[in-house]
């Protein structure tokens, strides 16, 4: 099993398939690499890298306090383990915060940024409540309930949901709570103007309370494109995979990351 290993750091589980332009997918808390199982068809154009955030699923736990700086560094470690110098960084939900921190900390390693259901800070009531619910569930021994909800929300296919549930149940509850807490207090807003690579924002057309974030992204980032995926809310990669993959391919072609 492939792990990004470094002395003094938790081993990070990852999977790599395909050839071409590297793209690394960063998942939301708890759910890990299986979140992007339906992005596998992109392997014909890209080198796809998926992984489990520290403490989640098959990645090792850490005893030190969690920070967004650490989480971004873990992305770098996974790229290093794959001998990838520069990659497109694709973050989904809270993974979008990690993607932003990576791009701002390691601009020389970032070819482009894709945020699916992304935001630069938790700045609305409903989003804040979702984070606090995740923290509460993780700290109160409700992992089976949380894992079941996350799995069913992402996959209608029973086998895929069951496999995701089994992975989530390997997650360390305290580290999951810490990851939610880290995301809850994170903001990249004051540094977004430093982003010098193309940015693609993908939102579910029914994910209404996240869509207002696009305004500030447009104001602060020079090269921004926004796409709405019809018929879905937040779970775009798994609930609308064909549309999501088509958007990713088209954007990468236009930005000359992959051949036309």
- At which residue do the structure tokens 């409903």 appear? 126
Kind plus residue range of the DSSP H or E element containing 35: none
Architecture of domain 3-254: 3-Layer(aba) Sandwich (3.40)
Name residues of the chain where pLDDT drops below 50. Answer: none
Which is nearest to 32 in space by CA: 233, 166, 200? 166
110-116 and 21-26: which strand pairing?
Answer: unpaired
Count other C-beta atoms under 10 Å from residue 68's C-beta: 21
Tally helices (H) and strands (E) across the chain.
9, 8
SS3 category, 231? coil
Structure tokens at 65: 């306090």
- At which residue do the structure tokens 């520290």 appear? 54
What pLDDT is recorded for position 24?
98
Structure tokens at 72: 């971004």
21-26 and 87-92: which strand pairing?
Answer: parallel
SS3 category, 6? strand
What do you get for the CA distance between the two ends of the chain, in Å? 34
Strand order in the sheet with 21-26: 3-6, 9-17, 46-51, 21-26, 87-92, 110-116, 199-204, 224-229
Q: Are the CB atoms for 165 and 148 separated by under 8 Å?
A: yes
Q: Are the CB atoms for 39 and 75 separated by under 8 Å?
A: no
What pLDDT digit, counting tens, does each position of 110-147 carry?
Answer: 999 999 999 999 999 999 999 999 999 999 989 999 99
Tell me the DSSP string of 77-132: HHHHHTT-SSEEEEEETHHHHHHHHHHHH-GGGEEEEEEES--SB--SHHHHHHHH
Where do the domains of the chain lie? 3-254
What pLDDT is recorded for position 260?
82
What pLDDT digit, counting tens, does each position of 90-100 carry?
Answer: 999 999 999 99
Count other C-beta atoms under 10 Å from residue 45's C-beta: 20
Structure tokens at 209: 């309370």
* Separation CA 241–CA 177 (nearest Å): 28
What pLDDT is recorded for position 57?
97
* HSE-CB for 12 with a 13 A CA cutoff: 29
SS3 category, 224? strand
What pLDDT is recorded for position 13?
98
């Amino acid at each position: 099993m492939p792990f990004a290993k470094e002395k003094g750091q938790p081993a990070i589980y990852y999977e790599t398939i395909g050839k071409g332009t590297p793209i690394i997918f960063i998942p939301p808390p708890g759910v890990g690499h299986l979140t992007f199982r339906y992005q596998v068809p992109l392997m014909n154009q890209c080198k796809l890298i998926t992984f489990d955030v520290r403490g989640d699923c098959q990645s090792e736990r850490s005893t030190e306090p969690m920070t967004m700086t650490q989480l971004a560094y873990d992305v770098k470690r996974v790229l290093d383990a794959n001998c990838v110098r520069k990659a497109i960084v694709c973050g989904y939900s809270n993974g979008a915060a990690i993607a932003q921190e990576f791009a701002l900390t390691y601009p020389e390693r970032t070819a482009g940024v894709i945020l699916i259901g992304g935001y630069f800070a938790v700045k609305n009531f409903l989003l804040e409540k979702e984070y606090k619910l995740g923290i509460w569930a993780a700290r109160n021994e409700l992992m089976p309930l949380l894992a079941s909800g996350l799995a069913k929300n992402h996959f209608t296919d029973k086998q895929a949901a069951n496999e995701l549930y089994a992975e989530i149940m390997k997650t360390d509850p305290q580290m999951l709570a810490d990851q939610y807490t880290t995301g809850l207090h994170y903001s990249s807003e004051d540094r977004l103007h430093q982003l010098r690579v193309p940015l693609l924002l993908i939102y579910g057309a029914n994910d209404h309370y996240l869509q207002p974030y696009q305004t500030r992204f447009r104001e602060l980032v020079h090269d921004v494109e926004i796409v709405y995926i019809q018929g879905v809310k937040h779970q775009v990669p798994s609930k609308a995979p064909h549309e999501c993959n088509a958007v990713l391919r088209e954007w990468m072609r236009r930005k000359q990351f992959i051949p036309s």
